Amino acid sequence: MNNINIKITTPFWLNYFKLIKNEMLPYQWAVLNDTADIVIEKERDAAYIPSQKSHAIENFKIAAGLKTGHHYGMVFQDSDVYKWLEAAAYCLKRFPDKEVQKITDDLINLIGKAQESNGYLNTYFTIEAPTRKFKRLYQSHELYCAGHFIEAAVAYYEAVNNKHALNIACKLADHLCHTFGNAPNQIHDYDGHEEIEIGLLRLYKITKNKNYLNLAHFFLYERGKDPEFFHKQVSADPDKSVLIEGMDNFKASYYQNHKPILEQTTAEGHAVRVTYMCTAMAMLANEADDTAILEAAKKLWQNITQKRMYITGGIGSTVIGEAFTTDYDLPNDSMYCETCASIGLIFFAGNMLKNDINSHYSNIMEKALYNTVIGGMALDGKHFFYVNPLEVNPAICHTNPSKSHVKTTRPAWFGCACCPPNIARLIASLDSYIYTIKNNIIYCNLYLANCCTLSVNGKNIAFTEETNYPWDGNINFTINTARQFGLGLRIPDWCESFTLKLNDKNLLYNIKNGFIIIDRNWSVNDQIELILSMPVQIYTSHPSIIADSGKLAIQRGPLMYCLEGVDNGSNLHLLYLSKNAIFTEQQKNSALGNIITLETTAQKLCSDFNWHNHLYYNARHIKNKFIPQKIQLIPYYTWGNRGENEMRLWLNEYNS
């Protein structure tokens, strides 16, 4: 990113930053050190997932030779630490803090001690299986963990200008450059979980070491050339013990290994893996001016967002493989919609914007952020969803094992703890997603109050943005630098009318690729006033989506709304809403924070029949009637914060 300094001032996000600094990071640090008093929950009923403790820091101490013992946890347990470190780095940039920096510096020292002399870094293999390094790439997550460490090191360098982590990262990356490649003595292939490519490309941007760019290119372009690669590696490994139980039955497409990436036109397999792969494709396209990989990334973007995405920005329609299924298969009560997958979608969108300015990337980024991502975290910052359903019936989730992965309230931590630190690092680095700077134009992807100084064509531009977004659409920019540049204002896809003024006078405009570009020679104190009309919107879905057919979804601004039982009683499936419903907006400061709730009158389907012991009955003898019922909708991201109850986002349509 070209941003030099962005200071976010929106209360909505300041609250999250404080949560991250004061709650999430200390809490997650305690978890990683096994000093938090919590119940660690399996994210699904898989026997192989350990859940007694994190042990992640202890693993590093053992690998570093400071303690004795065995590795504990997932084979990719190290990545929890790296993602925490990355989030801590972003946080240190915003809130410098010597005590925190002492912790992170010590952690980096520890990681350095755990690194082997040749640069190899992975506590599981160092402690438990030194002879099996890089021999089970589909399960080992060695390159995945390496990628996360490199990302953390780059972030730490950018945050505190300390090169220690970066040096460890370069030593690790150099080891990988030595080990992987097309030469006869090198390993010819790639990791089962994309991530190293992102790390290498970030490291390349900082170091300009072409080896890192070339290795990322190699990993991406090798992928899928031989769909049998992982099986061949397993056959060649004399040690037949598996690293992760249950991963042997997945098909090549689970790993996006079914065909070369340039030939992939549909999003297949594990949703997080897909988005990480696509993010790296978009990054490589940008760094290497690779139009072929950009076109491939666009196809995957279109398939995901036009055929396989929930209205919350959630992706992944099945728990089995946490994966995509097929176009328009979007069940609301059995889906996966992993928090990390929506985070990955934001990474993907952010990097596509650097290649291809178009507001549809920003729109989806906003949708995923304000719904699935922040919904993945409780309002206390200490409880998290892995799975983000659009419809929940607690009795069914507890008794139907096909839905046992759908938690009805947010657990404290997971045995496979990818999501909590991923939320932390995304939100802590939110400033890097607000603007895209290209060709002397600053494009505003996300609206939120901030004061910033950005570098445009090597010159600093300062301005201030004031807004109470996402609660209203009034946005004011005050320019603080007199200079010629373009300001690109996104008109969100949900917005149907707006007014735009420059220094209090209406401005003529064109919308191009979803942005209004105001390109002029700005003066200090120039004022832009953009008022995005933010009424309650009612959405319907593509006719091929069976699960949403005959249903409506309520949105206001970027926020999706839902019903909870605590406000509306049980049997939410009996409530019907007209698309002509009139909503009242209520500003409320409640257990859910300072939010806007929506109230309207729905129609509850009632029958005059005493069902008693009947399951089915002759419809012609039953008079159904609709009885008006006041309902209250809350922002989707706030659901599940008031105990266990029913929740529903898509409401039946009432044809009045």
Q: By CB under 8 A, name the binding residues for a second copy.
A: 45, 47, 249, 302, 305-307, 309, 311, 317-321, 323, 325-327, 329, 331, 334, 393, 395-396, 398-402, 496, 537-546, 549-550, 552-553, 571, 573-574, 579-580, 605, 607, 611, 613-620, 622, 624, 652-653, 655
**Antiparallel, parallel or unpaired: β 474-479 and 527-532:** antiparallel
Q: Which residues of 322-334 are buried (b: 16+ CB within 10 A; e: fewer)?
A: bbbbeebbbbbbb
Q: Cβ 221 to a second copy, closest distance in Å?
A: 27
Q: Cβ 618 to a second copy, closest distance in Å?
A: 6
C-beta of 484 vs 544, nearer to a second copy: 544
Nearest to 342 by CA among 286, 408, 433, 272: 272
Is 418 one of the catalytic residues?
Answer: yes
Which element (helix H / strand E) includes 306?
helix 291-307
C-beta of 155 vs 577, nearer to a second copy: 577
Q: Are 8 and 450 in contact (CB under 8 A)?
A: yes
Phi-psi region of 518 (alpha: psi -120 to 50; beta: other; left: phi over 0): beta
Q: Are 559 and 534 in contact (CB under 8 A)?
A: no
Is 322 one of the catalytic residues?
Answer: yes
C-beta of 574 vs 592, nearer to a second copy: 574
- Check residue 644 and report its DSSP letter: S
Q: Cβ 537 to a second copy, closest distance in Å?
A: 6
C-beta of 45 vs 380, nearer to a second copy: 45
Identity at 490, one-letter amino acid code: R
Structure tokens at 457: 């064509």
Q: Cβ 399 to a second copy, closest distance in Å?
A: 4
C-beta of 56 vs 387, nearer to a second copy: 387
Out of 418, 452, 495, 562, the active site residue is 418
Q: Cβ 548 to a second copy, closest distance in Å?
A: 8
C-beta of 118 vs 306, nearer to a second copy: 306
Q: Cβ 138 to a second copy, closest distance in Å?
A: 17
Q: Are 554 and 626 in contact (CB under 8 A)?
A: no
Three-class SS of 448-498: CCEEEEEEECCEEEEEEEEECCCCCCEEEEEECCCCEEEEEEECCCCCCCE
C-beta of 35 vs 549, nearer to a second copy: 549
Structure tokens at 146: 């390496």
Out of 322, 338, 465, 646, the active site residue is 322
Count of alpha carbons within 13 Å of 424, Cβ hemisphere only? Answer: 35
Q: Cβ 328 to a second copy, closest distance in Å?
A: 8
Nearest to 176 by CA among 165, 192, 191, 157: 191
Residue 611, burial from CB neighbour count under 10 angstroms (0-12, 13-18, 19+): exposed
Residues classed as catalytic: 322, 418
